[in-house]
Amino acid sequence: MIDFILSIRQLFVFIFFITGIYFLLSTAVGLIRFPNLYTRLHAGSKCLMAGGISVFMGCIVLEGISFVSLKLIVIMIFLSITNPVTIHVIASFDNNYNLIPKTYTKEDFEK
């Protein structure tokens, strides 16, 4: 019975790590091959976070219930909160998408 539970745990760890490798590789290939800035931002936000979350989940399953897994959960929640903020800040780096904010009137741009 104990061997059965151990083998199930090894299987889950293996699956999580394989999916993590796949998403990280797709991040690198996407950043190289995509033609535009905004499409690169798509690859840099979604695939990267999916790979990170799956690697962290594999580590948590490998560790079990202890303080180390709690610390890993804290890192994971911090990463998943701050990555959209980072992507949004980089996306508003240069305003090239024909958006003029409404707070500036047209006379301000004429000056």
Partner 1 sequence: MLYLILVIVLTAILTFYRVIKGPSLPDRLVAMNCIGVMFLLVLVLLSFYFERKIFIDVALVYGVFLFINVLIMAKYLRKPWKGGVGD
Partner 2 sequence: MRKKLLTFILTLALWFVFAGHVSIQVFFLGTIISSFISLMMAENLFRLIQLKDGTKDFPKKTYDIFMVIIAFIYDVFLSAVKVSRHAFEIKPSFSPRIVRIKTSLKNSNSIATLASFITFTQGSLALDFDHINNQYVIHWIDVHSDDEEERKIARIRKHLNLIAKIVD
From the list partner 2, partner 1, none, partner contacted by residue 80 (C-beta under 5 to 8 A by kind): partner 2
Nearest distance from C-beta of residue 3 to partner 1, angstroms: 21
Shortest CA distance to 37 belongs to which of 108, 110, 96, 105?
96
Asked if 44 touches partner 1 (CB under 8 A), the answer is yes
Own/partner pairs for 71-77, CB < 8 Å, 24+ apart?
76/52
Is there a contact between 30 and 47 (Cβ–Cβ < 8 Å)? yes
Query: Which positions lie near partner 2, rule CB under 8 A?
Result: 22-23, 26, 29-30, 33-36, 38-39, 41-43, 45-47, 49-51, 53-54, 67-68, 70-71, 74, 80-81, 84-85, 87-88, 91-92, 97, 99, 101-103
Asked if 61 touches partner 1 (CB under 8 A), the answer is no
Asked if 78 touches partner 1 (CB under 8 A), the answer is yes
Is there a contact between 24 and 51 (Cβ–Cβ < 8 Å)? yes
Tokens 């931002």 correspond to what residue? 41
